[in-house]
Amino acid sequence: MRKFALFGLIITLCGVCLHGPSIAATYAVQALGIAPGYDGSEATDINNAGVVMCWAATSYDASGAFTWSAGDGITNLAGHGISAYAGINNQGQIAGAYTDTDPNWKFEPLIRNSDGTESRLHIPEGVSNAWVGKILDDSSIFLTYEYRDSSGTVTSMKPAIIDANGTTTFIDVPGGNASVSAVSNNGTVIVNNEYLWTVSGGFSTLSWLASAGQVDVTCVNDLGWIVGTLNGHVVRWDSNGNMSDLGVGVARGINDNGQVVGSINGLAVIWNADGSVINLPSLAGYSYASASAINNNGQVVGEAWGDGAHMAVLWQSVPEPSAFVVLACGLAGILTRTRKRRSS
């Protein structure tokens, strides 16, 4: 019986130390590097597999893009007539724009798959350019179509979703003039800081958002939780319209756990679902930082900068050493008592 009791006590202690709510986690910061030929970088997105999307830039304003992962490091996305990339989905696909099929430098969307292959899509007749904004988890791309007249003057801009087969669905709301504020990974679109729109369901009015005042929506998650700025404060609404005031700051991303990332006074932070704030550590040699995105595993990406230098960074949670110290001490105490009983 003593053996069974001892075994049960050990299991209980392990569970408390490793899974108990009292054990917090700190975050470590890591520089992701800069693609060859560039002077600076910024991480803009991260999927649930931990693959990071980054921008690269030079001092003379040339720009490029690369991905980073723990296994492969930096993968440069330069070349192939591709001018821009925007976001990465949970399949590892990246949205981009290419220009090498038209003598007038017409921009059209493409999908770059995780194995490096590409699917090039074509925009509807009459559209002059497609400006890519985000790739969704179903391989659809959120973009904005640009229309020009015969003299080259821009006449209108229309937001839309184009699927992997090249079928376009325009994002329309009452009164027209749709301006997209945020798009989630599953295609939930917030329009004009007032409407929720999806391909399958069209638009619905978010009365609680429309009546809140001068809201600037910045992001939305797959559950319909919305984050924005109201009267200088970061605010978050759940899918039922319940609002949480997170305080002064700038929000740039939200995951499906309700965690929001951004910055306060030039330092990167996480606002947890309960409203508590985690101050993310600074990168050595850089004065400021801002977080851009957070995945559902709590990995955060963004940018550190200072004295003209810019570096893409990754923050990851690290279990507190105290948790393992408690576990070790507890097991040592149990074993010591057991030995004393046997020897007496």
Residue 110 lies inside a defined structural domain of this protein: no
Domain count within the chain: 1
The helix (H) or strand (E) run that includes residue 125 is none
At 6 the pLDDT is 47
At 13 the pLDDT is 45
Total residues belonging to the chain:
344
Residue 17 lies inside a defined structural domain of this protein: yes
Domain extent, residue 12, equals: 1-24+328-344
Residue 19 lies inside a defined structural domain of this protein: yes
Residues with pLDDT less than 70, the chain: 1-25, 60-62, 79-83, 100-104, 321-344
Residue 340 lies inside a defined structural domain of this protein: yes
**Is residue 224 within 8 Å of 260, Cβ to Cβ?**
no
Residue 171 lies inside a defined structural domain of this protein: no
Residue 169 lies inside a defined structural domain of this protein: no
| 14-61 pLDDT tens trace | 444 444 433 456 999 999 999 998 999 999 999 999 999 999 988 766
Residue 115 lies inside a defined structural domain of this protein: no
Q: How far is CA 160 from CA 39, 102, 142, 266, 314, in A?
A: 34, 22, 6, 34, 31
pTM of the shown model: 0.84
In angstroms, rounded to a whole number, what is the distance separating the alpha carbons of residues 52 and 72?
11
Residue 13 lies inside a defined structural domain of this protein: yes
| 96-113 pLDDT tens trace | 888 765 556 788 899 999
**Is residue 212 within 8 Å of 223, Cβ to Cβ?**
no
